[in-house]
Amino acid sequence: MERFVHFLIVEPDTSKHSHLRKILSLSGAILLFVENLEEAKWELTRKEIGIVLLNPELRESRKQIKKLKESDKGNRAFFLAMLADENLADIHQILREGFTDYLFFSFDTNTIKAKLKVYKSLFQKDQRIGHLLTNIFPEQVLEDLNSYGKYSPRRVDKGVVVFTDFVDFSKLSKDLQPIEIVRRLEQYFSKFDEIINRYQLEKIKTIGDAYMAIAGVTESYDQPILRASLAALEIREWIKNENLILRSQKKSPWEIRIGIHAGPLVAGILGSNKMSFDVWGDTVNLAARSEEVSWPGQITITEEVAKNIKKYFDLEHRGALEIKKRGGEENMYFLLNLKDQYCLYQEGLSPSAELREMCGLPRMDFNSMRNDILSQLEGQLSSDLHYHNVEHTIGVEKAAIRLAKLEGLSQDEINILLTAVLYHDSGFLFQYEHNEPLGIKLAKTNLPKYGYSEEQIKMVCQIIDSTSRVDKVSTLLEKIMTDADHDYFGRAEYHLIANRLRSELQHHGQEFSDEEWLIFQLDYLEKTHVYFTPSAISIRLPAKKKRINELKRKLQNLRENK
């Protein structure tokens, strides 16, 4: 996805758009045309734009370029002026007004594209650097570093610290090759990252087999102690499931210990060259100690954590345990499970919609929904579905995520879209023909228990319905759904996937000769299918045209050899 960059062209004269598209078309560029600055502001706010091209002869663009830059979502776009001729006075003026650079349309097309290619490359480098920094520092720290050039140490009255480590890790690692140890840790820590991100915690660091995260320090979401406890519970359960798989494979399980404490701490940055963000204080020491004295497969919490979550969780009092180095004792508890009334399905693990909302999280439990519907599809779809199978659903999901990010969807919109993706072929569980209404019915039945509202379910059903009425696709989410469903038309593995569809259709009574199959594909690709989103048009349409030409050559050769 990072290979593609949005180019935003502000030109009120729509008759020029076609000509500009020819001049500005560049490999990896997604061209977006708008007619005024209000539309430009909307695009800049919603999407990560790499290059903005404006006509400085438009008086409003010269007056409001500062406001345009403030609208820039990523704050990294390059603003280029489109000039008709080489007028030095104009050049000096537009540079003073805030333009990054300029293009002369008296230059030949290759020169213009060469210049745009340079800025495209610069923007992609900025993206990579930005992505790297967000993996190193919390968002608030980066904002301070960008604004003030430093991040001053800060005291937090009630921060939350979570520690995990693996029991007898040194002993376990003796029986494994170093590469296997690294792979296993990478797998586990990547899952931990996913979980703490969903609960809006912040990962601090890993030290060997230990993992440290915080809450209520670098973000302002509600209920940091409750969020940390929910994240710890999910980590524990995921490790339990992984260990069941390892035991079934006759492999040694990795048991985990988890500890949580909440209290005052100081957050800051260490170093001037290789800087690192960290937290200090007695709270960190107590969290580390609670993890150290925890039992395999258990979460140990301190008195401070327990009094804040006892309404929601079943706890087991462990008594007062000694605190090494610092001295003294601390009352500690095992965190067992969520109480039934705060669970999604009274299984003690998944938080209810109300509890999630209390924490400032989305009401819908997208992750549980996804796991359940994929398990249902994998276990119950007919083996005769060579095309409409779980692999297809996951492929459409990946394409939808890519397009959704390029089209600037919010996380809530992405969750709605992906829910529709995961259910769009679920009707095949019941019948082959006219299955979309059955998938919609299943979504209406299942989604309420995951915390989806009536309005969200309605949106999901409309998106699913759009896959059977392509001629009436209207909303952006419907367009992305349709484009993702046909993403493979513009991929190199098109013929492999198309042959799976042919095999599936033949099994259900629709036979094709080789010539009929080529005609069937060409008829759909040329006369029926269209890509809707600018992203899909830029990413997949060129390769789709190549597929069409390949099919035409195959059809011609087939007919000539008859």
| CA neighbor of 443 nearest in space, from 516, 499, 376, 539 | 376
Instruction: Supply the pLDDT for residue 88.
Output: 64
Q: Are strands 256-270 and 298-302 parallel, antiparallel or unpaired?
A: parallel
> Is the pLDDT at 346 greater than 70, yes or no?
no
> Is the pLDDT at 217 greater than 90, yes or no?
yes
In which band, very low, low, confident or very high, does the pLDDT at 63 lie, cut at 50, 70 and 90? Answer: low
Adjacent-strand bridge partners of 540: none
> Is the pLDDT at 151 greater than 70, yes or no?
yes
Share of the chain above pLDDT 70, in %: 95
In which band, very low, low, confident or very high, does the pLDDT at 57 lie, cut at 50, 70 and 90? Answer: low
Instruction: Supply the pLDDT for residue 1.
Output: 44
Cα dihedral 218, 222, 226, 230 sign: negative
Per-residue pLDDT of 333-344, as tens digits, reads 999 999 999 988
Which residue reads 């004792």 in tokens? 329
What predicted TM-score, i.e. pTM, was given to this entire model? 0.83
Q: What is the dihedral of CA 303, 306, 308, 310, to 10 degrees?
A: -150
> Is the pLDDT at 148 greater than 80, yes or no?
no
What SS3 string covers 283-327? HHHHHHHHHHCCCCCEEEEEHHHHHHHCCCEEEEEEEEEECCCCC
**Which residues does 6 contact at the CB level (< 8 Å), separation at least 6?**
29, 30, 32, 43, 47, 48, 49, 50, 51, 406
Distance CA 54, CA 34 (A): 10
Per-residue pLDDT of 479-508, as tens digits, reads 999 999 999 999 999 999 999 999 999 999
Instruction: Supply the pLDDT for residue 108.
Output: 81
Identify residue 128 by its one-letter amino acid code.
R
Instruction: Supply the pLDDT for residue 453.
Output: 93
Quick one: average pLDDT of 34-63? 81
Q: Is 346 helix (H, G, I), strand (E, B) or coil?
A: coil
| CA neighbor of 124 nearest in space, from 51, 66, 54 | 51
Per-residue pLDDT of 167-184, as tens digits, reads 988 888 887 888 989 999
> Is the pLDDT at 12 greater than 80, yes or no?
yes
Q: Are 167 and 209 in contact (CB under 8 A)?
A: no
H runs (alpha helix) in 447-531: 454-466, 476-485, 494-507, 514-522
Q: Which two tokens stand for residue 19?
A: 């000509």
Distance CA 100, CA 18 (A): 25
Share of the chain above pLDDT 90, in %: 63
Q: Are 291 and 300 in contact (CB under 8 A)?
A: yes
Quick one: average pLDDT of 6-29? 88
Adjacent-strand bridge partners of 208: none
In which band, very low, low, confident or very high, does the pLDDT at 2 lie, cut at 50, 70 and 90? Answer: very low
Q: Is 238 helix (H, G, I), strand (E, B) or coil?
A: helix
- Angle at which helix 224-248 crosses helix 178-198, to 10 degrees, equals 140
Q: Which of 4-18, 309-323, 476-490 has the highest mean pLDDT?
A: 476-490
Distance CA 108, CA 492 (A): 33
Q: Is 513 helix (H, G, I), strand (E, B) or coil?
A: coil
Quick one: average pLDDT of 115-119? 91
> Is the pLDDT at 247 greater than 80, yes or no?
yes
Instruction: Supply the pLDDT for residue 6.
Output: 92
Quick one: average pLDDT of 240-246? 93
Q: Is 364 helix (H, G, I), strand (E, B) or coil?
A: coil
In which band, very low, low, confident or very high, does the pLDDT at 545 lie, cut at 50, 70 and 90? Answer: very high
Structural domains in the chain plus CATH codes? 5-136 (3.40.50.2300), 139-358 (3.30.70.1230), 366-560 (1.10.1300.10)
Mean pLDDT over all residues of the chain? 89
Going across the sheet that includes 101-104, the strands are 29-34, 5-10, 49-54, 78-83, 101-104
Q: Which of 17-26, 53-62, 429-438 has the highest mean pLDDT?
A: 429-438
Instruction: Supply the pLDDT for residue 58.
Output: 60
Q: Which two tokens stand for residue 326?
A: 């610092």
**Which residues does 32 contact at the CB level (< 8 Å), separation at least 6?**
6, 7, 8, 9, 43, 47, 49, 534
Q: Which two tokens stand for residue 460?
A: 């999901």
Per-residue pLDDT of 69-98, as tens digits, reads 777 766 688 999 888 766 666 678 778 878
Q: What distance separates the 2 farthest-apart alpha carbons in the chain?
A: 92
Quick one: average pLDDT of 412-422? 96
